[in-house]
């Protein structure tokens, strides 16, 4: 008998029929003697629907104008699905209780829409578990010190689940979703993508941060920090499959590197369509310019990703970087109004139709020529590379958005990811 946390994503909770199946699966685990905590997402489409209603009422305002109310609104999606799951479990004869994050002391900071979990009060949950109940806790949300409801950012239920598992010292956190594990790349883009039986924590961290939305990056960070065993698996298998078989299915996020991982030089390909490129043209090539541009951007709370500075010609240079596409208009405006006049730069240009494609693998540490192979593959497809960024276990390129699928498919093939691992 162990304390297990299950997380079910939006598609897995997408209809009453699917909720009933989740309930049957959870009841099976409880009958096998496990103490069960379940963290559901809102039913699929619900978070977007709610945020869409707000946009109808305030179309002009940037999302930040109503941050507090938007979080209060979005959090209701998970409250509804949690209560529905508790009802489904009770109707199967399985005692169960649902709680919103604030009811079990999920304390966060007050950064609306990207709040971070600071502490969780486990007493109430443990008492219910000891009384034989399945405890359901809303994903995606918490409460700040002043009692305001906060949310953790899109995809945040993954992070709720891992944080709850850590707080309760669970045996394992199982992330049930609409694919049966972590693949070499998004199987919806490359049908030949293969499921990985294990993926190292570091690779998963890179893949999540580079755009593989199968797990929210902060859930992976949490799991790594507290060494919480974490597995991604399908909620679409028959609910009554053998529990031991189910427990071994999917993809394990591993904290130990084994030899096989080193064998695969590239383990996965991630892509991100949500970035935009901004260039400040004709800035003087003198010390402190990069700091001046990027400090202005950071002061406006805008995160910068890939950065590139060209060589100078006639003492002038061009400086480009990428930001999240939501911040694109704000960044261009800011640079035009302050930085350009201050620095005497020529102009600011932008391109929102770009994407970032990355290859990831811990084997890259010990192999040379991986990045050059990536560039060659892209060149053979006639794809122009606009920016490059590397780290020990990844190489990313920024390219025209219209070539994204072509680039991902070509790289997937060239690095042998469509072939069964040896």
Which residues, numbered 147-186, are part of the site for ligand ASP (CB under 6 A)? 154-157
Residue 213 contacts ligand ADP per CB under 6 A: yes
In 58-185, which residue ranges form alpha helices assigned H by DSSP?
67-91, 123-130, 157-167
Classify the C-alpha dihedral 356-260-228-224 as positive or negative: negative
Residue 101 contacts ligand ASP per CB under 6 A: no
Q: What number of other Cβ atoms are within 10 A of residue 187's Cβ?
A: 16
Among 159, 185, 219, 395, binds ligand ADP (CB under 6 A): 185
Query: Which CB sits closer to ligand ASP, 86 or 306?
Result: 86
**137, β-bridge pairs:** 99
Supply the minimum distance, in Å, between the C-beta of residue 215 and ligand ASP. 10
Question: Rounded to whole angstroms, what are the CA distances from 387 to 161, 166, 322, 373?
Answer: 36, 39, 9, 16
Contacted entry of ligand ASP, ligand ADP, Mg ion, none for residue 11, CB cut-off 5 to 8 Å set by kind? ligand ADP
Determine the Cα–Cα distance for residues 74 and 58; give it in Å rounded to an integer: 15
Supply the minimum distance, in Å, between the C-beta of residue 199 and ligand ASP. 20
Residue 142 contacts ligand ASP per CB under 6 A: no
Residue 42 contacts ligand ASP per CB under 6 A: yes
Residue 188 contacts ligand ADP per CB under 6 A: yes
Which residues, numbered 243-272, are part of the site for ligand ADP (CB under 6 A)? 268
Among 21, 47, 249, 386, binds ligand ASP (CB under 6 A): 47
Supply the minimum distance, in Å, between the C-beta of residue 97 and ligand ASP. 21
Query: Which CB sits closer to ligand ADP, 212 or 358?
Result: 212
Do β-strands 3-8 and 35-40 pair in parallel, antiparallel, or remain unpaired? parallel
Determine the Cα–Cα distance for residues 278 and 291; give it in Å rounded to an integer: 16
Which residues, numbered 46-75, are part of the site for ligand ADP (CB under 6 A)? none
Decide if 176 contacts 129 (C-beta within 8 A). no
Q: Which span (41-49, 302-310, 311-319, 361-369) binds ligand ASP, by CB under 6 A?
A: 41-49
Decide if 185 contacts 272 (C-beta within 8 A). no
Residue 77 contacts ligand ASP per CB under 6 A: yes
Supply the minimum distance, in Å, between the C-beta of residue 50 and ligand ASP. 9
Residue 214 contacts ligand ADP per CB under 6 A: yes
Cα angle for residues 70, 73, 75 (degrees, 5° grid): 105
Do β-strands 347-351 and 387-391 pair in parallel, antiparallel, or remain unpaired? unpaired
Residue among 144, 92, 146, 86 at smallest CA distance from 118: 144
Helices and strands, number each (H, E), in the chain: 14, 20
Query: Which CB sits closer to ligand ASP, 326 or 342?
Result: 326
Contacted entry of Mg ion, ligand ADP, ligand ASP, none for residue 77, CB cut-off 5 to 8 Å set by kind? ligand ASP
Q: Which residues contact 265 (CB under 8 A, 6 or more apart)?
A: 361, 363, 364, 367, 370, 415
Residue 41 contacts ligand ASP per CB under 6 A: yes
Do β-strands 149-151 and 141-143 pair in parallel, antiparallel, or remain unpaired? antiparallel
Residue 235 contacts ligand ASP per CB under 6 A: no
Give contact residues for Mg ion (rule: CB under 5 A): 9, 155
């Amino acid at each position: 008998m162990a304390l297990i946390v299950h997380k079910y994503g939006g598609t897995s909770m997408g209809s009453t029929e699917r909720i009933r199946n989740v309930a049957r699966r959870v009841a099976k685990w409880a009958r096998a003697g496990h103490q069960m905590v379940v963290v559901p997402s809102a039913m699929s489409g619900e978070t977007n629907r709610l945020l869409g209603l707000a946009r109808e009422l305030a179309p002009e305002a940037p999302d930040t104008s109503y941050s507090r109310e938007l979080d209060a609104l979005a959090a209701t999606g998970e409250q509804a699905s949690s209560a529905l799951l508790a009802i489904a479990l009770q109707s199967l004869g399985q005692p169960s209780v649902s709680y919103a994050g604030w009811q079990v002391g999920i304390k966060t900071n007050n950064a609306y829409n990207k709040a971070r979990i600071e502490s969780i009060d486990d007493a109430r949950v443990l008492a219910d578990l000891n009384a034989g109940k399945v405890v359901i806790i809303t994903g995606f949300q918490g409460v700040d010190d002043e009692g305001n409801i906060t949310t953790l950012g899109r995809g945040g239920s993954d992070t709720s689940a891992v944080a709850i598992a850590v707080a309760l010292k669970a045996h394992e956190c199982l992330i049930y979703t609409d694919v049966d594990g972590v693949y070499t790349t998004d199987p919806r883009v490359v049908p030949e993508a293969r499921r990985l039986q294990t993926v190292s924590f570091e690779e998963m961290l890179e893949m999540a941060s580079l755009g593989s939305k199968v797990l929210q990056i902060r859930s992976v960070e949490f799991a790594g920090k507290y060494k919480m065993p974490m597995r991604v698996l399908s909620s679409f298998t028959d609910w009554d499959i053998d529990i031991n078989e189910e427990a071994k299915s999917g993809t394990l996020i591993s904290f130990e590197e084994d030899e096989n991982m080193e064998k695969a030089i590239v383990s996965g390909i991630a892509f991100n369509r949500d970035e935009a490129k901004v260039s400040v043209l004709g800035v003087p090539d003198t010390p402190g310019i990069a700091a001046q541009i990027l400090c202005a951007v950071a002061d406006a709370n805008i995160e910068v990703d890939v950065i590139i500075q060209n060589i100078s010609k006639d003492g002038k240079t061009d400086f480009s970087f990428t930001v999240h596409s939501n911040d694109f208009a704000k960044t261009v405006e800011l640079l035009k109004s302050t930085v350009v006049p201050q620095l005497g730069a020529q102009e600011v240009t932008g391109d929102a139709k770009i994407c970032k494609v990355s290859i990831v693998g811990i084997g890259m540490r010990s192999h040379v020529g991986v990045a050059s192979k990536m560039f060659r593959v892209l060149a053979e497809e006639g794809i122009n590379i606009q920016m490059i960024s590397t780290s020990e276990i990844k190489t990313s390129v920024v390219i025209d958005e219209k070539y994204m699928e072509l680039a991902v498919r070509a790289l997937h093939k060239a690095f042998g990811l469509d072939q069964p691992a040896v």
